[in-house]
Amino acid sequence: MTDPVAPAPAARALPVVPARRDPRPGIAGLTEAEVVALVGELGEPAFRSRQVADAAWRSGAADWDEVTTLARPLRAALAERLRFDTVAATTIRVAEGSTTEKALHALSDGRLVESVLMHYPGGADRRERNTLCISSQAGCAVGCPFCATGELGFERDLEVAEIIDQVRHASRRMVAPGRHLTNVVFMGMGEPLLALDAVLDAAAALTDPARFGLGARHITISTSGVVPGIERLTLLRPQWTLAISLHAARDPLRDLLVPLNRRWPVADVVSAARAYGEATGRRVSYEYVMIDGINDTATDADAVGRLLRSSGAHVNCIPMNTVAHTPWQASPPARIAAFADRLRAGGLGVTVRRNRGQEVGAACGQLAAEQAGEPPAPTVARRRELLEAASAAALRGERSFEPAPAGLGPERRQPGRPAGPRRPATVARRRPAPSRGR
Ligand code: SAH
Ligand code: SF4
């Protein structure tokens, strides 16, 4: 069921003209010590730092002008150094009886990122949940061909405050209906483990009782399989849930569906994820987007079963959201059910998920892709053709000769592991729309 697609009352129009990036950091990205130091530099007494932090984290204000607990000259001095909010403008679309709210945020340089707020009402045996899905990058370098963000290509990492401000925005919007955020998932645009420094700082702020104050167990980080990032997390042992975007258990197919598999093969990803599970005592979950005729056969299910056997992992099967540039569709419900049953028979925990907010383009990056404009028809047709050829080869079991995507970080080949096969990239990226300032 779809509600009429309407902007929320507080929504401001997105800027048409791209701007230069605002050099002032956002207040939300500052640690407590940094706020104390800044307040000292401004010649204010130390107790003001608590008031400044409260303005950012407790007040519900959307701008320095609304922070009436601070004198006007101090507000002006702070505004010169810091942005109260790093999001320049937001448009909202609502769906599913207002239980799903999709926000498209314009950043100071005109880049667009998305967050999705999902409300799950409570019941006799469960508490109400309000989950926000946030972005860590504008665009993404990994380039999964079923993903609208992958199609945009990589634009830039988000600043710490730009990540957190998606959460502060959602929190402010929840005051009126009397709700509060219970979960944050890094499953929006971008690959969080390729922006790990900022993601760690953002998560620290979100879980700090003096700042946002969410329990660490209420944070999920999803990765397409950046092995060094998973290893770094394992050393830090956070209590977050780690979700691995698996989508295929066989390398030839995963080379195509999740192109970083050409750098970090699926067995290495799963073994890094197992180590994370063992170090943290947290169950790792695996996301599996179901694509009709591509990764949904009994053979695929058996390969997943063998790969994850005795890992205590949980698999979420998600019907693919249709995106403009691929010939692929979601698997039919009966095939998804049969796939899930086969995984269960192999001893895995399985949930079949709905992809919420699909009708408002709520899958990863779809609204931003819409704003970027349709690529020219011949580009789409060529890309579809190449994907069809590549998927036919993958289904025959041939490994990809494409190089791993650029932008995955420095090569760190393990001793004894040969370099992957190489041949020039053939699937062309969409040209960025001129109105987006690139
Ligand atoms: N880059 C990270 C996190 C962001 S993507 C990752 O890939 O895990 C978050 C999830 O959305 C991933 O599991 C991804 O596979 C899924 N996704 C992307 N495009 C989708 C589509 N068209 N339909 C359904 N799920 C999709
Ligand atoms: Fe990037 Fe994740 Fe989309 Fe793949 S699914 S392109 S890793 S955002």
End-to-end, the C-alpha distance of the chain in Å comes to: 37
pLDDT in tens, 203-242: 999 999 999 999 999 999 999 999 999 999 999 999 999 9
Catalytic status, residue 114: yes
Mean pLDDT along residues 3-19: 39
Pocket-testing residue among 135, 142, 147, ligand 1, by greatest number of atoms within 8 A of Cβ? 147
Mean pLDDT along residues 105-119: 93
Q: Ligand 1 atom 13: the closest Cα is on which residue?
A: 245
Catalytic residue, from 133, 147, 317, 364: name it.
364
pLDDT in tens, 282-339: 999 999 999 999 999 999 999 999 999 888 899 999 999 988 778 899 999 999 999 9
392 pLDDT band, cuts 50/70/90, is: confident
Please state at what angle helix 196-207 crosses helix 227-236, rounded to 10 degrees. 30
Mean pLDDT along residues 395-400: 86
Q: Burial letters for 151-164: b for 16+ Cβ neighbours within 10 Å, e otherwise?
A: bbbbbebbbbbbbb
Tokens in use for 240?
């977050």
Q: Which ligand 2 atom is nearest residue 141's CA?
A: 1
Alpha helices (runs of H) in 213-364, residue ranges in sequence order: 227-236, 251-257, 266-280, 298-308, 333-345
Task: Report pLDDT for 356.
Answer: 60
Of the candidate ranges 39-43, 60-64, 274-278, the one whose mean pLDDT is the lowest: 60-64
Pocket of ligand 2 contains residue 326 by CB under 6 Å: no
Q: Ligand 2 atom 4: the closest Cα is on which residue?
A: 144
Task: Report pLDDT for 354.
Answer: 78
CA of 146 to the centre of ligand 1 (A): 8
Mean pLDDT along residues 37-44: 95
CA distance 295 to 77: 56
Task: Report pLDDT for 358.
Answer: 56
CA distance 177 to 175: 6
Catalytic status, residue 317: no
Task: Report pLDDT for 378.
Answer: 83
Handedness of CA 319, 324, 326, 327 (dihedral sign): positive
Task: Please list the residues that pair with 287 across neighbouring strands.
Answer: 245, 316
Q: Which ligand 1 atom is nearest residue 191's CA?
A: 1
Ligand closest to the CA atom of residue 192: 1
Q: 123: alpha, beta or left, given left = phi > 0 and alpha = psi -120 to 50?
A: beta
CA of 147 to the centre of ligand 1 (A): 6
Query: Are the beta carbons of 342 and 298 closer than 8 angstroms?
Result: yes
Task: Report pLDDT for 38.
Answer: 96
